[in-house]
């Protein structure tokens, strides 16, 4: 069997129903089991406007290919090159591939030390553009390292750009990684990845459904992509142009109901346009780190990532009246307790006690003109986006989730703020 046949669902169904041997015999005899033909025509009629598939042409095509196929030689070459063949039912067979139904491969050629089934129990497909930018390869390597260090296997296509960077990142974390090729496992494509593939065989495994000696073609790259998606719990697209093979892998992940994630990038980069399209269409979840990807595909309570949180600032620890007083104290000049009480909307007593506390804590200082904020408060870190909320001169200038009006009347919980 050649990959192109495996990709043909009619052939796939024939094999699943009658077994590879009987399927081959049927094709050799240029016949198909009548009940299968009837079923196929019914299926085709349901699927598309009563247009039955030309089964005779298919049989002839398969027959021509069968004539060229030589399974015995394939096995010999494979074993000679150090590869092994696994088929459904083998202990090393990754059963998640069965979800491909008629598209399930008849077998997989493996070359490497790692056990494919075990390696893929916790695996993520990291895919993206071959013509990736330095941003894309940087992020892919970060994901490779992060996933590897957390015990997750990186599955990818071994291509230039994102694929290669992800594999290298995983190897750098001394984690197994899985390369799924569109050619025979004995063929090094791209040729410049000879060293990389050797390292993968050493620590992980190189996979292909093509027998040894088969060279890559457009069809095989597209057929290969379904395996990358089907082997992994989820797929993350690191960089992809609007027209990209990575989006084909993403489509497979969706059709298999696997998790799909995309890494955002600059909107000025065409290489992120495909990722942004997936996000805009809400097909993919936005992930910005390996932890977030593990959070997505991981088991709840087991692999949850910590929420990205805003930095806390000392002000958060103040109680509300004290905060009100602090907000009411001018940054320039100074103000007396009475006017501060008016501005804060508090009684004079409450204001005076708050002033004492704030002075003791070093937030404010007393001058001849009254109270004012202390400048250059070393103990007073600015939040990243301090500026958006406060006049610059104030050291008390972090944005804050203080509601614009009293908490009890805020239209929605803090969750709505987007930083919880």
Number of residues forming the site for its own copies (CB under 8 A):
123
Q: Determine the interface stretch with its own copies among 24-32, 199-207, 308-316, 371-379 (rule: CB under 8 A).
A: 308-316
Residues 74 to 93 in contact with its own copies, rule: CB under 8 A: none
Q: Does 268 bind its own copies (CB under 8 A)?
A: yes
Q: Does 246 bind its own copies (CB under 8 A)?
A: yes
Q: Does 223 bind its own copies (CB under 8 A)?
A: yes
Nearer to its own copies, 36 or 189 (CB): 189
Question: Cβ 202 to its own copies, closest distance in Å?
Answer: 25
Q: Does 308 bind its own copies (CB under 8 A)?
A: yes
Q: What is the 3-state secondary structure (H, E, C) of the chain?
A: CCHHHHCCHHHHHHHHHHHHHHHHHHHHCCCCCHHHHHHHHHHHHHHCCCCCCCHHHHHHHHHHHHHHCCHHHHHHHHHHCCCEEECCCCCCCCHHHHHHHHHCCCCEEEEECCCHHHHCCCEEEEECCCCCCHHHHHHHHHHHHHHHHCCCEEEECCCCCHHHHHHHHHHHCCCCEEEECCCCCCCCCCHHHHHHHHHHHHHCEEEECCCCCCCCCHHHHHHHHHHHHHHCCEEEECCCCCCCHHHHHHHHHHHCCCEEEECCCCCCCHHHHHHHHHHHCCCCEECCCHHHHHHHHCCCCCCCCCCCCCCCCHHHHCCHHHHHHHHHCCCCCCECHHHHHHHHCCCHHHHHHHHHHHHHHCCEEEECCEEEECCCCCCCCCCCCHHHHCCCCCCCCCCCCCCCCCHHHCCCCHHHHCCC
Q: Does 358 bind its own copies (CB under 8 A)?
A: no
Q: Does 300 bind its own copies (CB under 8 A)?
A: no
List the one residue from 4, 199, 318, 361 that touches its own copies (CB under 8 A): 4
Q: Does 73 bind its own copies (CB under 8 A)?
A: no
List the one residue from 20, 26, 53, 337 that touches its own copies (CB under 8 A): 53
Q: Does 126 bind its own copies (CB under 8 A)?
A: no
Q: Determine the interface stretch with its own copies among 28-36, 81-89, 168-176, 275-283 (rule: CB under 8 A).
A: 275-283
List the one residue from 281, 306, 319, 360 that touches its own copies (CB under 8 A): 281
d(CA 362, CA 238): 47
Nearer to its own copies, 114 or 159 (CB): 159
Q: Determine the interface stretch with its own copies among 25-33, 198-206, 283-291, 354-362 (rule: CB under 8 A).
A: 283-291
Question: Cβ 247 to its own copies, closest distance in Å?
Answer: 5
Question: Cβ 167 to its own copies, closest distance in Å?
Answer: 15
List the one residue from 164, 216, 334, 395 that touches its own copies (CB under 8 A): 216
Q: Does 342 bind its own copies (CB under 8 A)?
A: yes
Query: In whole angstroms, what separates CA 342 from the centre of its chain?
Result: 54
Cβ(237)–Cβ(127) below 8 Å = yes
Which tokens go with 283? 């097909």
Question: Cβ 393 to its own copies, closest distance in Å?
Answer: 11
List the one residue from 71, 80, 82, 345 that touches its own copies (CB under 8 A): 345
Cβ(83)–Cβ(110) below 8 Å = yes
Cβ(361)–Cβ(391) below 8 Å = no
Q: Does 105 bind its own copies (CB under 8 A)?
A: no
Q: Determine the interface stretch with its own copies among 81-89, 107-115, 165-173, 217-225 (rule: CB under 8 A).
A: 217-225
Q: Does 304 bind its own copies (CB under 8 A)?
A: no
Nearer to its own copies, 174 or 243 (CB): 243
Residues 174 to 203 in contact with its own copies, rule: CB under 8 A: 189-190
Residues 140 to 179 in contact with its own copies, rule: CB under 8 A: 157, 159-161
Q: Does 404 bind its own copies (CB under 8 A)?
A: yes
């Amino acid at each position: 069997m050649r990959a192109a046949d495996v990709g043909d669902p009619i052939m796939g169904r024939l094999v699943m129903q009658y077994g590879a041997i009987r399927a081959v015999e049927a094709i050799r005899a240029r016949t198909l089991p009548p009940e299968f033909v009837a079923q196929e025509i019914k299926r085709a009629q349901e699927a598309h406007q009563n247009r039955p598939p030309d089964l005779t042409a298919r049989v002839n095509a398969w027959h021509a290919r069968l004539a060229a196929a030589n399974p015995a030689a394939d096995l010999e070459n494979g074993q000679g090159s150090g590869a092994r063949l696994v088929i459904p039912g083998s202990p090393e067979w990754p059963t998640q591939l069965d979800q491909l139904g008629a598209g399930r491969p008849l077998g997989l050629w493996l070359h490497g030390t790692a056990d494919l089934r075990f390696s893929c129990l916790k695996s993520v497909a990291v895919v993206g553009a071959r013509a990736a930018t330095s941003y894309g390869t940087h992020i892919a390597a970060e994901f490779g390292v992060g996933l590897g260090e957390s015990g997750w296997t990186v599955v990818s296509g071994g291509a230039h750009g994102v694929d290669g960077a992800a594999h290298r990142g995983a190897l750098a974390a001394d984690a197994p990684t899985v390369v799924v090729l569109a050619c025979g496992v004995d063929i090094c494509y791209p040729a410049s990845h000879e060293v990389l593939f050797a390292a993968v065989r050493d620590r992980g495994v190189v996979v292909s459904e093509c027998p040894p000696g088969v060279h890559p073609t457009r069809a095989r790259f597209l057929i290969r992509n379904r395996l990358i998606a089907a082997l992994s719990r989820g797929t993350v697209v690191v960089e992809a142009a609007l027209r990209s093979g990575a989006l084909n892998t993403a489509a497979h992940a969706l059709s298999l109901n696997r998790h799909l994630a995309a890494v955002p990038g600059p909107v000025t980069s065409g290489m992120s346009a495909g990722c942004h399209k997936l996000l805009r269409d809400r097909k993919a979840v936005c992930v910005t780190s390996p932890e977030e990807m593990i959070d997505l595909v991981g088991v709840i309570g087991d692999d949850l990532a910590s929420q990205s949180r805003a930095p806390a600032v000392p002000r958060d620890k103040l109680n509300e009246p004290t905060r009100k007083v602090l907000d009411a104290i001018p940054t320039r000049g100074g103000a007396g307790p009475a006017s501060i009480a008016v501005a804060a909307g508090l009684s004079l007593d409450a204001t005076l006690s708050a002033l004492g506390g704030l002075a003791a804590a070093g937030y404010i200082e007393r001058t001849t003109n009254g109270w004012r904020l202390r400048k250059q408060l070393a103990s007073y870190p600015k939040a990243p986006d301090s500026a958006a909320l406060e006049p610059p001169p104030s050291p008390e200038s972090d944005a804050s989730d203080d509601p614009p009006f009293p908490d009890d009347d805020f239209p929605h919980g803090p969750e709505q703020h987007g930083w919880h």
